[in-house]
Amino acid sequence: MDNIYPINQGITKRQIDELCIQKGLILWLTGLSGSGKSTIAKEVQRKLFESGKMSYILDGDNLRLGLNKDLGFSFEDRKENLRRASEVACILRENNIIVISCFITPFASLRKLIADLCGDGFHLVYVEASLGTCEKRDPKGLYKKARDGVIKDFTGIGQDYEIPEKSSLHLNSNINSIDTLSGQVIQFLSKLEDNDHS
């Protein structure tokens, strides 16, 4: 693009790595609305904080109130919403923050786009919950609105959710508590850290 000159940061990635006690990465939680993504993320963040590690939760609803408030829910808008979120996640990861991204991300093509954009340090986490389970929870009342025709193209009702064929971590919130699920995430992160040090 013309007349755009990106600057290099004054501090190098190597200097940041030497300063920080943790390595940045991206956990991308995908699943139906109401599957427990945000609740799991908050508990993981709490446990990480207690162990002296910094993390940041990137939440779809939060971004749609600010950075992405100009976007709707068409396929192209969803794609742009996730592209912007991925860019933010990458910036945070480069500064050694553990990023916990919570987005429905319903299509395999979108998940591949994100994985390709984020590259190393990206880990897809599938939070499984049946449509029935999510509708029973319905913490935001969105499924009822979708069933009543108020919300169009709602994932799980008017739009499909493509179950990931492969993920770095598979969490089943149909049968497990939030404490168990967040513990599984912490255990996964510990294994990654052990592998980095081996």
58-113: per-residue pLDDT in tens? 998 889 999 899 998 888 998 999 999 999 999 999 889 999 999 999 999 999 99
Q: What percent of the chain has pLDDT over 90?
A: 69
Residues in Cβ contact with 82 at an 8 Å cutoff, skipping those fewer than 6 apart: 103, 105, 110, 113, 114
Q: What is the CATH number of domain 13-197?
A: 3.40.50.300
Q: What is the pLDDT of residues 30-42, one digit of tens each?
A: 999 999 999 999 9
Provide the pLDDT for residue 14.
Answer: 72
- Report the C-alpha gap between 79 and 119 in whole angstroms: 17
Write the DSSP symbol of residue 7: P
pTM given for the model:
0.88
pLDDT of residue 55: 95
H-run or E-run covering 131: helix 131-137
- Render pLDDT for 152-198 as a digit per residue (tens, 0 to 9): 889 989 889 999 999 999 999 999 999 999 999 999 999 988 777 65
How confident is the model over 121-136, as a mean pLDDT?
95
